[in-house]
Amino acid sequence: MVDPVSLFERAASRAADMVGRVQPGQWHAPTPCREWDVAALVEHMVAGIGYVGAALEVEGMAVSVDPPSYRAGVARCVASLREPGALDGRCMSPAGFEWSVGDAAAGTAMDQLIHTWDLAVAIGAGRDLDPELVEACVAVFVPQMPDIGRAAGFVGPEVTVGADASAQDRLLGAMGRHP
């Protein structure tokens, strides 16, 4: 069983680190998410932290694209997720169904992980994701979550990868990326 708090904390912290690597001239660079440039992608990533904060009903939760603000938002969410009973709360998923706050944290972790790769591609940074996070996401989310995302219209068609593909490439392909 994967701990959703640890998964969220690691994925969102690494996402914040990647956001911190964006240079001033890169904000309008294209990303693997066809409809988003770097600025729109980062806004989406920040909104994911806000989503978890809202699910937890964290008061005064304001997160921006500024890396210290992003990290502070992650820390506030993690502290709230660790409160007794927090993971059992209920909220609406981005796909329109109700799920637990624990599932929301884990789902947001996967979103942060995938978009960290998208951002790395866009800004020319290293594309290797944390192998433990990748393995956890493959175990927990593939194939169900990508299919749910496709049905909701926010995950692209699956990209076929070879039978000997790495876990990262399998996850990226499942999430509609060309690894």
Q: How confident is the model at residue 106 (pLDDT cuts 50, 70, 90)?
A: very high
Question: Does 41 fall in a domain?
Answer: yes
Question: Does 156 fall in a domain?
Answer: no
User: Which residues are CB-neighbours of 118 under 8 A, at least 6 positions away?
Assistant: 31, 32, 33, 41, 177
Please count the structural domains in the chain.
1
Alpha-carbon gap, residue 30 to 38, rounded angstroms: 6
Question: Does 157 fall in a domain?
Answer: no
pLDDT reading at 2 higher than 90: no
Q: How confident is the model at residue 148 (pLDDT cuts 50, 70, 90)?
A: confident
Q: Where are the beta strands (DSSP E) in the chain?
A: 90-92, 98-100
Whether the link from the prior residue into 143 is cis, omega within 30° of 0, is yes
**Degrees to nearest 5, angle at CA 122 with 120 and 125:** 35
Question: Does 29 fall in a domain?
Answer: yes
Whether the link from the prior residue into 68 is cis, omega within 30° of 0, is no
Question: Does 109 fall in a domain?
Answer: yes
Residue type, 102: G
Question: Does 137 fall in a domain?
Answer: no
Q: How confident is the model at residue 119 (pLDDT cuts 50, 70, 90)?
A: very high
Question: Does 30 fall in a domain?
Answer: yes
What pLDDT score does 1 carry? 63
CATH number of residue 85's parent domain: 1.20.120.450
User: What is the value of pTM for the model shown?
Assistant: 0.94
* Percentage with pLDDT > 70 across the chain: 99
Q: Which domain holds residue 33?
A: 4-130
